[in-house]
Chain A
């Protein structure tokens, strides 16, 4: 998990990344790890015409990458922010691609918060997080009718603990396909 310090250090950068959306990011991150991928869905293009690998696992609702590995469906946020982490943009672009290719599929984006702050304010903040993911997907060409958002605020923690690491896991948006 990213420490919240490191996350907050990213904030200025993140705003820029959002505006740029799924396109390549030229910002130089002050951190060692994954800069956003420059050519987003490289892997997908050549494979596609071969034998149409499924975008979903056998259950029909778990999105997978070209090699069949489940895509990450949870995206994490800094404290009291609703700004996407640049490191997540490539994965979100893969979700966008899958949704573009599968117009019959829809996705529910849940927004969640950690327990700090008031419950109704967190309901609003969770909605903002879900909406940020939604607007990334729609600006990447996904039909908005394929997307629903719902905020659970702080009501459904992924980790019921009361520590920084539990909180970091709880500040999230989760994509569920149906």
Chain B
């Protein structure tokens, strides 16, 4: 990838190839449809279309297929539910530099914040994308930054700008530069079945295939450094746990024991992988030291023990067990193997994940025969149902803990849904080419451009 980028900067004609490639991406990309804009008084912000001055013919052609960075930034902020970006038609002026900013124009429009920016061509087909963030009431510039980018980093730079704006205004780190991983299933249940493990931008764009198989793929999870993933593949006709580079060539079948090899989840320090193996007769939770490949058995119970997940401090695992008769969430202290039940409301609670604070759970909760994603405060035991659709599963948190992505069904199709952790903002990510499921939100990733 890096090599390709370097080449592109020197050879203009290659840019045309890139354009074709990005069109191919667009075909597989997920659509994003906001269905519920939750916050009562979202922050009013104006993201003015960036002034784009690109005189290189190759760049100009490539840019035909790319939205103005302001669209990417505004859409990121809108999806958070905490911002209400102003429509371009309502703007009284379209400044692109600080000398063109007149605060009064924006005060009249009752805009709290203003973002302007521009893109200029440099030599060698590289570009400079810059932005400035203003506090309208305070009449001052809050942030300004510029990035040197190739055309293939256009979206990366725009997402990073959205991250900075979000953090500056809300005080919470932005997660718009993160990625989502999911399984795209086509013709499942037929002889033509095809399963693809995909990674896309958090807004569903630029999807690419990490692994493709006629056999099922499930339970994908990210290493904390975002450079490796683990998942379950049936490529041999039986389940096995695969460890794979996101960008590099490494791919390894980590386990292929008799029975279930499932639910791989990396520990917060990335050194261990929790998993489920039924090699001893029934599904039990294990951890594997990724350095020594040594396995440690954590649970000992004839019931189903599955779906492990780590506490943020790495000292506990939470998991699903039907040892009490019905699936419920339990936790086990790794130092002592002390097991404790965590959920008591309802007769089906499964696939839990802890929030970054370690005090709240999200999980699959069945109520009146319908499967929802629910949130629970561990200290007070109260449950909040976050999603109202059916067959909701696989909740996965954004790295800043503010949103969660999950799998659901819409009009008979498997789609991804995203909901804010307070349940008020919702959007969905359908695919036009198949069923999407098993989402996993990446950790914070290293910035692509700086």
Question: Which one of A22-30, A41-49, A84-92, A119-127 contacts B?
Answer: A119-127
Question: A97-141 toward B: CB 8 Å interface, digit per residue (1/0)?
Answer: 000000000000000000111111101110110000000000000
Could you tell me if B238 and A150 are in contact, using CB atoms closer than 8 angstroms?
A: yes
The distance from the CB of B228 to the nearest CB of chain A, in whole angstroms, is: 20
Could you tell me if B438 and A127 are in contact, using CB atoms closer than 8 angstroms?
A: no
Question: Which one of B4-12, B61-69, B259-267 contacts A?
Answer: B259-267
A151 on the B face (CB < 8 A): yes
A124 CB contact (under 8 Å) in B234, B260, B348, B371 = B260
Could you tell me if A157 and B351 are in contact, using CB atoms closer than 8 angstroms?
A: no
A160 on the B face (CB < 8 A): yes
**Cα–Cα distance between A118 and B350 once the two chains are bound (Å):** 7
B320 on the A face (CB < 8 A): yes
A residues at B contact (CB < 8 Å): 115-121, 123-125, 127-128, 149-153, 155-160, 162
Q: Beyond A127-B259, A151-B260, A156-B189, is A116–B371 a contact (Cβ under 8 Å)?
A: yes
A contact residues around B348 at 8 Å (CB): 117
Interface centre among A121, A152, A159 (most CB of B within 10 A): A121
B259 CB contact (under 8 Å) in A119, A149, A155, A158 = A149
Could you tell me if A156 and B259 are in contact, using CB atoms closer than 8 angstroms?
A: no
Within 8 A of A (CB), among B314-343: 320, 327
Could you tell me if B189 and A158 are in contact, using CB atoms closer than 8 angstroms?
A: yes
**Cα–Cα distance between A152 and B259 once the two chains are bound (Å):** 10
The 5 closest A-B pairs by CB, nearest first: A160-B189, A155-B216, A124-B304, A118-B351, A157-B189
User: What are 15 A-B pairs with beta-carbon distances under 8 A?
Assistant: A116-B371, A117-B327, A117-B366, A117-B371, A119-B218, A119-B393, A120-B262, A120-B306, A120-B307, A120-B320, A121-B351, A124-B304, A128-B304, A150-B237, A155-B188
**Cα–Cα distance between A106 and B350 once the two chains are bound (Å):** 35
B contact residues around A153 at 8 Å (CB): 218
Closest B residue to A119 using CB positions: B218
**Cα–Cα distance between A143 and B391 once the two chains are bound (Å):** 40
Could you tell me if A121 and B189 are in contact, using CB atoms closer than 8 angstroms?
A: no
A sample of 20 more A-B contacts (CB under 8 A), given A120-B219, A123-B239, A123-B306, is A115-B391, A116-B391, A118-B307, A118-B320, A119-B218, A119-B393, A119-B394, A120-B218, A121-B306, A123-B283, A124-B260, A124-B283, A124-B304, A125-B304, A127-B259, A150-B237, A155-B218, A160-B188, A160-B190, A162-B412
Q: Looking at chain B, what size class is its interface with the partner chain? A: 35 or more
Closest B residue to A82 using CB positions: B304
B364 on the A face (CB < 8 A): yes
Could you tell me if A121 and B190 are in contact, using CB atoms closer than 8 angstroms?
A: no
Question: B269-289 toward A: CB 8 Å interface, digit per residue (1/0)?
Answer: 000000010100001000000
Could you tell me if B260 and A127 are in contact, using CB atoms closer than 8 angstroms?
A: yes
Question: B168-195 toward A: CB 8 Å interface, digit per residue (1/0)?
Answer: 0000000000000000000011100100
B contact residues around A159 at 8 Å (CB): 189
B residues at A contact (CB < 8 Å): 188-190, 193, 216, 218-219, 234, 237-239, 259-260, 262-263, 276, 278, 283, 304, 306-307, 320, 327, 348, 350-351, 364, 366, 371, 391, 393-394, 409, 412, 438
B contact residues around A157 at 8 Å (CB): 188-189
A contact residues around B188 at 8 Å (CB): 155-157, 160
Could you tell me if B409 and A162 are in contact, using CB atoms closer than 8 angstroms?
A: yes
The distance from the CB of A175 to the nearest CB of chain B, in whole angstroms, is: 16
**Cα–Cα distance between A150 and B278 once the two chains are bound (Å):** 11
Closest B residue to A170 using CB positions: B189
**Cα–Cα distance between A151 and B260 once the two chains are bound (Å):** 7
A contact residues around B238 at 8 Å (CB): 150
B260 CB contact (under 8 Å) in A117, A123, A158, A162 = A123
Could you tell me if B327 and A121 are in contact, using CB atoms closer than 8 angstroms?
A: yes
**Cα–Cα distance between A151 and B218 once the two chains are bound (Å):** 13
Closest A residue to B413 using CB positions: A162
Could you tell me if B234 and A155 are in contact, using CB atoms closer than 8 angstroms?
A: yes
The distance from the CB of A75 to the nearest CB of chain B, in whole angstroms, is: 19
A118 CB contact (under 8 Å) in B234, B239, B278, B364 = B364
A contact residues around B260 at 8 Å (CB): 123-124, 127, 151
The distance from the CB of A172 to the nearest CB of chain B, in whole angstroms, is: 13
Could you tell me if A152 and B234 are in contact, using CB atoms closer than 8 angstroms?
A: yes
B contact residues around A158 at 8 Å (CB): 189
The distance from the CB of B81 to the nearest CB of chain A, in whole angstroms, is: 27
B contact residues around A120 at 8 Å (CB): 218-219, 262-263, 276, 306-307, 320, 351
B contact residues around A149 at 8 Å (CB): 259
**Cα–Cα distance between A175 and B17 once the two chains are bound (Å):** 50
Q: Beyond A160-B188, A160-B189, is A119–B438 a contact (Cβ under 8 Å)?
A: yes
Could you tell me if B393 and A118 are in contact, using CB atoms closer than 8 angstroms?
A: yes
A contact residues around B409 at 8 Å (CB): 162
A contact residues around B190 at 8 Å (CB): 160
Closest B residue to A159 using CB positions: B189
Could you tell me if A123 and B262 are in contact, using CB atoms closer than 8 angstroms?
A: yes
A121 CB contact (under 8 Å) in B216, B237, B320 = B320
**Cα–Cα distance between A153 and B239 once the two chains are bound (Å):** 10
Closest B residue to A108 using CB positions: B237
The distance from the CB of B310 to the nearest CB of chain A, in whole angstroms, is: 15
B304 CB contact (under 8 Å) in A121, A150, A162 = A121
The distance from the CB of A84 to the nearest CB of chain B, in whole angstroms, is: 18
A contact residues around B394 at 8 Å (CB): 118-119
**Cα–Cα distance between A120 and B321 once the two chains are bound (Å):** 11
Could you tell me if A121 and B371 are in contact, using CB atoms closer than 8 angstroms?
A: no
**Cα–Cα distance between A152 and B438 once the two chains are bound (Å):** 15
**Cα–Cα distance between A156 and B320 once the two chains are bound (Å):** 22
